[in-house]
Amino acid sequence: MKAEDSKEWTTVIESVQGWYMPDLRGLWQYRDLVMLFVRRDSVATYKQSLLGPLWFVIQPLITTIVFTIVFGRIASIPTDGLPPLLFYFAGVLCWQYFAANLNKTSDTFASNAGIYSKVYFPRLVTPVSLIISNLIVLGIQFCVFIVVVITYRIRGVPVDPGAAVLLLPLLLIQIAALGLGVGLIVSTLSTRFRDLAYLLGYGMQLWMYATPVVYPVSQIPEKWLWLAYLNPMTSIVESFRYAVLGSGSLRLEPTVYSIMMTALIFCLGLAMFSRVERSFMDTI
């Protein structure tokens, strides 16, 4: 018997037919690669920029200031008794984390085609690494937000999140799952319909204004609340403000609906992603 015939394969990679969910065990086995991509995404984003990582903080601050001037001062939209800066800052943090997850994972196949064509690894590694990278950025931004909240507390502004702040990790998980799910769906469909990438930016703007980022849910007429809560991000943003600022509301039925929609979209995105990843390289 030849020496090479006596060797036994330890890992067999083969195609799976039909619909199936991703190999989460394989994703865990490649966790070192996930962290390598996280480091790459975190460092490379502003590596050659003048201000570097400061852009992580400057972007939400500028957006918050613009919203405060336009919607708080000029349009005079109520903010549920909160200082406009805090109200918009909380909404911007929540929305930008969701939007970053969706936008960056929506072109997973297109932006990583070069890597996918050269080496095998669980394709879910790349979108998951983006979710973690965005979470690190959110952590930096949230530290600035805490400083702003403390400043207002010192000035006597009643900001009291209370026990609801314990819900924050669950809300972040839901935002990550919803952004990843929608992003995977768009990424999958973009392999066949390339114009979806061009519509995404416009669609995200409309989605933001359909979400209570620049206005509170209390300003929506009662007869239209059911329509507003069809958007799963409505309950998430409102719950996020309630958790970090103690203002707004935390409604059971919209929250349950939002969680169910998030789970459905997340599972659908994983299933579609897993089906397309096997044949993606044949279509480019």
User: Is the pLDDT confidence value at 1 over 50?
Assistant: no
Does residue 2 belong to any structural domain of this protein?
no
Q: How many CA atoms lie within 13 A of 135 on its CB side?
A: 19
Does residue 1 belong to any structural domain of this protein?
no
Lowest mean pLDDT among 65-79, 106-120, 167-181, 247-261: 106-120
pTM (2 decimals)? 0.86
Does residue 3 belong to any structural domain of this protein?
no
Domain with 246, as residue range(s), is 21-278
Does residue 268 belong to any structural domain of this protein?
yes
Number of domains, the chain: 1
Q: Burial code of 97-131, b = ≥16 C-beta within 10 A, e = fewer?
A: bbbbbbbbbbbbbeebeeebeeeebbbbbbbbbbb
Q: What is the residue whose two structure tokens read 């400061």?
A: 54
Does residue 59 belong to any structural domain of this protein?
yes
Does residue 128 belong to any structural domain of this protein?
yes
Angle between helices 125-154 and 84-105 (to 10 degrees): 170
pLDDT band at 49 (very low <50, low <70, confident <90, very high): low
- The three-state secondary structure class of 261 is helix
CB 233 within 8 A of CB 207: yes
Does residue 174 belong to any structural domain of this protein?
yes
